[in-house]
């Protein structure tokens, strides 16, 4: 099969199109023929090991000190068709249209992938929403699961004021639509080139972060969801209403500690990384089929142009999702 092999830590050019052996499903796995995947900011960070020093050391020890050895194919989400199933699989059959997320196993930059039927630690898989294409379905699992993980830490109700910082990416675009489906008044913060798109998916108010600091406006919010993790924690806490909650979606260790000490006066702080659950992916499927959430796709590339897609995502100009057409 064709796959994009991760040959070294660093530049996009270290992602090379190669012919590799196709995987064979174990008894509890399904073999998926991938029709579409994506390039996320997380893929780019992993490729270059763009992480804090201690995490970089750990990842090199885990995956190969000088070059990737354990995980050699990146890609975190996919949509496709089940090619075959192991003998212990009960929830899926050959021909089922599916979508899913691989978790830390990666592997979606390829024509085929094996994934366990029901082990979230190894990734999650569910039937594809019937009302969207494979390319559109591939745009949802990572952003959708992350958005649900954080926003479900709150109790969003009709009329609540929610602000999403870094709203123009895969997580924020789902977050806006999910919060709107629950009746929230949503303010979306991102760069000027993304504001029209944010309005089009339901944002009530938009802010260009290059021209205005949302924490300096005097406006108070019930929920602030900081997807990018770059806003001042103390300023965000001051921008919360009484009993408000600040969700930090991309924390480093020191920001997590600082947030804990900043929580006071009934205001809460939550930071962490999303844990994927099959039931959340099924819930996301239902949201899509009900029309409450729709995909936001910036552009598409063929599999062999993944290095170019990585370069584009790293510009920070991505609006929603960048799709890779595998087939």
Q: pLDDT of 162-183, one tens digit each?
A: 999 999 999 999 999 999 999 9
Indicate the helix (H) or strand (E) that contains 289.
helix 278-289
Half-sphere exposure (CA, 13 Å, Cβ side) for 227?
27
159 and 107, same structural domain? no
The number of beta carbons lying within 10 Å of the beta carbon of residue 81 is: 17
pTM above 0.85, yes or no: yes
Residue 16: pLDDT band (50, 70, 90) is very high
The chain-wide mean pLDDT, for the chain, equals 94
Residues 177-209 pLDDT 10s: 999 999 999 999 999 999 999 999 999 999 999
Q: What is the CATH number of the domain that holds 162?
A: 3.40.50.720
Residues 299-327 pLDDT 10s: 999 999 999 999 999 999 999 999 999 98
314 and 237, same structural domain? no
Percent of the chain whose predicted confidence (pLDDT) is above 90: 89
- Helix (H, G, I), strand (E, B), or coil: what is residue 108? coil
- Once rounded to an integer, what is the mean pLDDT over residues 239-243? 95
Residue 253: the pLDDT is 41
263 and 230, same structural domain? yes
Percent of the chain whose predicted confidence (pLDDT) is above 70: 95
Residue 142: pLDDT band (50, 70, 90) is very high
Q: What is the CATH number of the domain that holds 54?
A: 3.90.180.10
Residues 59-112 pLDDT 10s: 999 999 999 999 999 999 999 999 999 999 999 999 999 999 999 899 999 999
106 and 57, same structural domain? yes
Classify residue 299: in a domain, yes or no: yes
C-alpha to C-alpha distance for 84 and 147, rounded to whole angstroms: 31
Residue 266: the pLDDT is 82
37 and 115, same structural domain? yes
205 and 259, same structural domain? yes
- Helix (H, G, I), strand (E, B), or coil: what is residue 242? strand
Residues 279-292 pLDDT 10s: 999 999 999 999 99
C-alpha to C-alpha distance for 214 and 125, rounded to whole angstroms: 37
The number of beta carbons lying within 10 Å of the beta carbon of residue 148 is: 22
Number of domains in the chain: 2
8 and 133, same structural domain? yes
179 and 121, same structural domain? no
206 and 91, same structural domain? no
pLDDT at 244 over 80: yes
Indicate the helix (H) or strand (E) that contains 55.
helix 53-63
Classify residue 21: in a domain, yes or no: yes
> Alpha carbon of 237 to those of 3, 38, 200, 234, 242: distances in Å?
45, 34, 29, 5, 10
Classify residue 72: in a domain, yes or no: yes
Among the listed residues 304, 303, 299, the one whose alpha carbon sits nearest the alpha carbon of residue 321 = 299
Whose tokens are 């170019």? That residue is: 308
Classify residue 277: in a domain, yes or no: no
Residue 263: the pLDDT is 54
pLDDT at 257 over 80: no
Classify residue 288: in a domain, yes or no: no
**Domain interval for residue 103:** 2-140+295-325
**Phi-psi category of residue 38: left, alpha or beta, with phi > 0 → left and psi -120 to 50 → alpha:** beta
176 and 64, same structural domain? no
150 and 123, same structural domain? no
Q: What ranges make up the beta strands (E) of the chain?
A: 2-6, 15-19, 29-39, 77-85, 97-101, 112-116, 124-127, 161-165, 185-190, 205-208, 221-226, 240-248, 268-271, 297-302, 321-325
158 and 30, same structural domain? no
């Amino acid at each position: 099969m064709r796959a994009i092999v991760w040959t070294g830590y660093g530049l996009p050019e270290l992602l090379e199109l190669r012919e590799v052996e196709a995987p064979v499903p174990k008894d509890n796995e399904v073999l998926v023929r991938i029709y579409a995947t994506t390039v996320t900011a997380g893929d780019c960070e992993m490729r270059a090991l763009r992480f804090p020093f201690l995490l970089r050391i750990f990842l090199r020890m885990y995956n190969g000190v000088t070059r990737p050895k354990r995980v050699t194919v990146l890609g975190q989400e996919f949509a496709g068709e089940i090619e075959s199933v192991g003998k212990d699989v009960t929830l899926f059959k050959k021909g089922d249209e599916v979508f899913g997320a691989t978790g830390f196993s990666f592997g979606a930059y390829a024509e085929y992938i094996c994934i366990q039927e029901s082990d979230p630690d190894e990734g999650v898989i569910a039937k594809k929403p019937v009302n969207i294409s494979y390319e559109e379905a591939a745009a949802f699992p990572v952003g959708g699961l992350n958005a649900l993980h954080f926003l479900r830490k709150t109790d969003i109700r009709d009329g609540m004021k929610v602000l999403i910082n870094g709203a123009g990416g895969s997580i924020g675009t789902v977050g806006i639509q999910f919060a709107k489906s629950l009746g929230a008044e949503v303010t979306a913060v991102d760069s000027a080139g993304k504001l029209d798109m944010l309005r089009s998916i339901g944002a009530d108010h938009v802010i260009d972060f290059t021209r205005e600091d949302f924490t300096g406006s005097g406006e108070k919010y019930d929920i602030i969801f900081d997807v990018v993790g770059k806003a001042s924690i103390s300023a965000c806490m001051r921008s919360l209403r009484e009993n408000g909650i600040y969700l930090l979606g991309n924390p480093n260790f020191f920001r997590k500690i600082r947030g804990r000490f900043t929580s006071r006066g009934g205001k809460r702080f939550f930071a962490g990384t999303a844990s994927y659950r099959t039931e959340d992916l099924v819930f996301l499927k239902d949201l899509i089929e009900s029309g409450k959430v729709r995909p936001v796709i910036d552009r598409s590339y063929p599999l062999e142009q993944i290095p170019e897609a990585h370069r584009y995502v790293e510009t920070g100009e991505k609006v929603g999702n960048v799709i890779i057409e595998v087939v």
